[in-house]
Structure 1
């Protein structure tokens, strides 16, 4: 099914029941989502992305190895390793997903608070622990919004906070990014480290370069299409019509596609899911009021994910959904980290890290 979240693939094995499940926090009495973009993000993941998420990154083992190498590069080594029942330094994983950062942090001898807005992702994380030979009592999970993490972490208690895998770009505005960075500074002990990883979307692509192949195999093809808010593409190419209209009018193609917010249509083997009901977006900044830095940080990028899945009879289903991301540069993020009191150790360009920027800061103080 394309229009409903399916259980994440587990490689064919059955997860045994854990005798000591990790402590889990939920917030049933208050809205889970406070960022003005997070309803989009949660819906997009639940309806489309979660089902394919681990596969997109080449499988659990591949991504765990990559992130363990990255974290070992930027975090101090814990020596001597604490015993299983000894106190460990606290690491906070913001937007933990299925555990791509949490599991390496556990292996590196941290106790981890893993927070995510997706209950499906948190379930996958906890079910993976036995297969990683990890005890569950060093893990606490929280089903909540990224902006609310300070309610779980008292000031000056965390040794490490990570927000990786492009999670930071799920926030709606630069002010929301500022809040996360400032709150992380408050939550860290002196000498604690903040590791931020994100894709730099400050340089708009144009024409057919906006179609980006992501992953494929014999039964699934995943690609995405990117639109930068406020960009007008006047290259008609072979289509014979202007792809964008800077006047704000709807183009004939948009009229044909019926891109009214909240619309869902099925036509043959295609299901289209709009992850952004318009009544939840009334408080989002207009493009005219949006803060955009000279480097391009702050622009919104509309990400369309397109998934083709081969059915048993040889035909293909196409599922499609979209959500917004926030353009960020390592320059802007690094400069703000310095403003709030971090000593920035690294501002690594994405070319050497699979297209992802990494900015690492250390809280100054003693």
Structure 2
């Protein structure tokens, strides 16, 4: 997988889209948990919206270190290295959390559906050249991904990173599996867990937004 380290320096900014404000959070309070926080854009957004403390959970020490560097002026954010599948009991007591977010491509990176909010819906297969998706472009770097559909639940993502140095282009390739999670399936799972669906719709950049609230 070609992540943020391979792409180079980035500026992490707060991403408020899809995150409810504390007054919409319900009776549990202002405590928040960011599952699969990456370098923390949603954690920073939660802090700016008034949530705190915020447990920012990820398995990558590199990304958590980057979050700590960007969030060192905000003591409300607590980077925690843990598996998002069993992190909640470790970071908060039952009934004390006002908001839990799981944004970006976190859910599709899990190994199985039984492990499973914003996510990318990959259930509708792309055909032919539509399977090649431009991801990011700079004057000396081009990142494209190619999708290979393995079965009903899995798509293999092939990252193709072209970098230019001294007038010569070099290709670096890697692959990783992602889950194909349909919105209907995830809504059904949420309802089965006893939460009410507040919002379920397509968002920008091919993402799907699901906002659920515990009654």
For normalisation by structure 2, the TM-score amounts to: 0.90
| Alignment check: 8 A CA contact 1:331 1:347 kept | no
How far 1:69 sits from its partner (Å)?
Answer: 3.7
Matched position secondary structure for 2:23: coil
In structure 2, what is the equivalent of residue 50 of structure 1?
A: 4
Matched, 1:322 2:175: yes
Alignment of 1:41-80 (within 5 A): 44=1, 48-52=2-6, 59-61=11-13, 64=14, 67-71=15-19, 74-77=20-23
In structure 1, what is the equivalent of residue 125 of structure 2?
A: 204
- Measured in 2, the distance between the counterparts of 1:135 and 1:203 equals 40
In structure 1, what is the equivalent of residue 45 of structure 2?
A: 104
Matched position secondary structure for 2:205: coil
Answer with 1 or 2: which has the greater Rg.
1
In structure 2, what is the equivalent of residue 359 of structure 1?
A: 210
- Measured in 1, the distance between the counterparts of 2:8 and 2:23 equals 28
In structure 1, what is the equivalent of residue 157 of structure 2?
A: 303
- Measured in 2, the distance between the counterparts of 1:359 and 1:52 equals 30
How far 1:362 sits from its partner (Å)?
Answer: 0.7
Greater relative CO, 1 or 2 (CA 8 Å, sep 6+): 1
In structure 2, what is the equivalent of residue 152 of structure 1?
A: 91
RMSD (CA atoms)? 1.9
Alignment of 1:1-366 (within 5 A): 44=1, 48-52=2-6, 59-61=11-13, 64=14, 67-71=15-19, 74-77=20-23, 89-110=30-51, 111-130=53-72, 134-136=73-75, 138-149=76-87, 150-177=89-116, 196-230=117-151, 299-311=153-165, 313-349=166-202, 352-364=203-215
- Measured in 2, the distance between the counterparts of 1:329 and 1:91 equals 26
How far 1:125 sits from its partner (Å)?
Answer: 0.6
- Provide closer, same or farther for how the CA distance between residues 113 and 198 of structure 1 changes in structure 2, counting only shifts above 3 A: same
The structure carrying a bigger strand percent of its residues is: 2
* Aligned residue pair count: 209
- Measured in 2, the distance between the counterparts of 1:154 and 1:54 equals 38
- Measured in 2, the distance between the counterparts of 1:340 and 1:107 equals 29
For normalisation by structure 1, the TM-score amounts to: 0.54
Gaps of 5+ in 2: none
How far 1:345 sits from its partner (Å)?
Answer: 0.4
